[in-house]
Each structure stands twice: as structure tokens, then as C-alpha cells.
């Protein structure tokens, strides 16, 4: 369960993600810098599954994961692999093309249904959807709400939240990073299960992640609680690396 939005900028992009979870799930660990293959990356961690739901690496690539609730669900894998580990694997990729190659080589039958989104500068959002039966890959060029999900009623959640995003963008004269922050922290259009910062008897929005990728650096700002009533933490920052400028890597470096 989540809500993910995106805004391209002249030298990069911004991403916002609300994580919705059942009350029984352990709180996520705050974002930290770690090594993903040859790259430095920033991500929070899920202590239950050992993976993450969002992360960004020094190449300027952000990965975000949303659960999918098919209308005709299939039997779950007997020994499922955490979907968050797929995000960790993908953070070692320099770009969306490498993520595409990775996911096509992955044994998806071991994973519950999901959407994996890859954001990179000067490109549409890459969106892969696994429904438990088949993999589909599309591109999204429209800024704003990119993905949202609800285990209670997927269609209603998407309809209400997308309408709210579009209404507020028109009223504000367009999208901005500040507007995305306000939308992800809002309890509108009304408090409850369909709000962007949602609350239900069994689940709620438990955190918000704000990723900004610019020309020379990237930052990750984490809100470790319901966004409508929790202050953000200090940003975690990395320089953005131009991989082409490095030249080919030598073995062992």
C-alpha cells in the first residue's frame, strides 16, 4: 500500500512516496548510505523483510515499490522472496535499462504481485507490473501521481487520490515540490482510508520519503511517522556521479 508521485525538473526530478502498512508490521529503519554493487545508495530498511520500498543511488536512479492487489489473485508462492529485496538488487543498476534487464532475468514466480518504478533524469518513469501471472512494462510521462494502491479497494483509492492531485494542481497553477509535499502530508479529501496520508482501523500511512535528484547531488528526506502529524528528519545527501566520466572500471576497483 502506498502513494507515489513524481515531478521532473530541469536538472533532475523529485519523488514523493507515502508508505502505508498494517499496524502489525515493524516500523521501518531510517534511510542510510550503503553500498549497492559498485554504487553508493540511500534507502530506509524494512526489518521484517530485509529489503526496502524506496531508494536512490549516486547515478541518479530512484527505485520505488508498490504492492499490487489483482482482481483475480493467484496462489501465493510457497516460499515467497521479499519484494523489497528486488529493490535492493535494482539499486546496483546505473539506469532504468539495466533494471529492465534485471527484472526480466528474475524468477518472478517467487514474488507476490508488485509494481516497480524506476526514475531517472530526462526520461519518462519506467513502470514494471507483475500481477502474479505476467509481467508488463510501460512508461509514464505525466508528472503528478504515478502509482497508488490499497488492499481495501484499489479502484476507489486510485480514483479519489488522483482526483485530489489533479484538483490541487489546477488550483495551484501547476505542480511543484512544495505542492507534492503538502499533498502527501494531507488528510484530504477527507480523513480516512482514501486520504493520501491514510488511516484505517488496521493500517495507516507510516512514513513519507522525499527524494530530490539534481545536477550535482541527491538528497533523501524521511518522515518517520504519519506525514500529517510528523516532522521530517534531516536530509541524507550524496553527490551525484556521472558514470560516463569515470571511464571503464578495472577489475577489483
**One digit per residue, pLDDT tens: the chain, 253 residues?**
799 999 999 999 999 999 999 888 888 999 999 999 999 999 999 998 889 999 999 999 999 999 988 777 777 778 889 999 999 999 999 999 999 999 999 999 999 999 999 999 999 999 999 999 999 999 999 999 999 988 788 889 899 999 999 999 999 999 999 999 999 999 987 899 999 999 998 899 999 999 999 999 999 999 999 999 999 999 999 999 976 544 333 433 3
φ/ψ (deg, to 5) at 163? -60, -40
- In the chain, what are the domains? 2-246 (3.60.60.10)
Query: Any residues with CB less than 8 A from the CB of 253 and at least 6 apart, and which?
Result: none
pLDDT at 189: 78
Q: Is 189 exposed, middle or buried (0-12, 13-18, 19+ CB in 10 A)?
A: middle
Query: What confidence score (pLDDT) does residue 243 get?
Result: 60
Is the distance from CB of 15 to CB of 62 less than 8 angstroms?
A: yes
12 in Cβ contact with 121 (< 8 Å):
yes
d(CA 113, CA 129): 8
For residue 94, which of 71, 123, 73 has the smallest C-alpha distance? 123
pLDDT at 247: 39
Assigned C-alpha cell, 65? 515499490
Q: pLDDT value at position 246?
A: 42
Residue 139, strand partner residues: 126
**Rounded to two decimals, what is the model's pTM?**
0.93
Quick one: pLDDT at residue 27?
87
Amino acid at each position: 500500500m502506498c502513494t507515489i508521485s513524481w515531478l521532473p525538473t530541469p536538472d533532475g526530478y523529485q519523488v514523493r512516496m507515502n508508505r502505508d502498512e498494517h499496524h502489525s508490521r515493524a516500523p521501518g529503519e531510517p534511510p542510510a548510505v550503503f553500498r549497492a554493487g559498485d554504487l553508493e545508495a540511500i534507502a530506509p530498511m524494512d526489518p521484517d523483510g530485509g529489503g526496502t520500498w524506496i531508494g536512490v543511488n549516486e547515478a541518479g536512479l530512484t527505485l520505488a515499490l508498490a504492492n499490487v492487489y489483482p482482481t483475480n489473485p493467484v496462489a501465493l508462492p510457497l516460499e515467497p522472496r521479499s519484494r523489497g529485496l528486488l529493490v535492493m538488487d535494482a539499486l546496483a543498476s546505473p539506469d532504468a535499462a539495466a533494471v529492465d534487464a534485471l527484472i526480466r532475468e528474475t524468477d518472478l514466480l517467487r514474488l507476490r504481485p508488485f509494481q516497480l518504478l524506476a526514475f531517472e533524469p530526462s526520461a519518462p518513469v519506467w513502470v514494471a507490473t507483475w500481477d502474479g501471472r505476467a509481467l508488463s512494462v510501460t512508461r509514464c510521462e505525466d508528472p503528478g501521481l504515478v502509482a497508488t494502491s490499497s488492499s481495501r479497494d484499489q479502484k476507489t483509492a486510485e480514483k479519489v487520490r488522483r482526483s485530489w492531485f489533479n484538483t490541487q494542481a489546477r488550483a495551484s497553477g501547476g505542480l511543484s515540490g512544495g505542492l507534492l509535499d503538502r499533498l502527501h502530508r494531507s488528510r484530504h479529501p477527507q480523513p480516512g482510508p482514501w486520504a493520501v496520508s491514510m488511516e484505517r482501523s488496521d493500517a495507516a500511512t507510516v512514513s513519507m520519503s522525499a527524494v530530490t535528484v539534481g545536477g550535482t547531488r541527491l538528497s533523501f528526506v524521511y518522515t518517520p511517522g504519519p506525514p500529517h502529524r510528523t516532522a521530517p528528519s534531516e536530509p541524507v545527501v550524496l553527490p551525484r556521479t556521472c558514470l560516463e566520466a569515470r571511464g571503464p572500471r578495472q577489475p577489483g576497483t
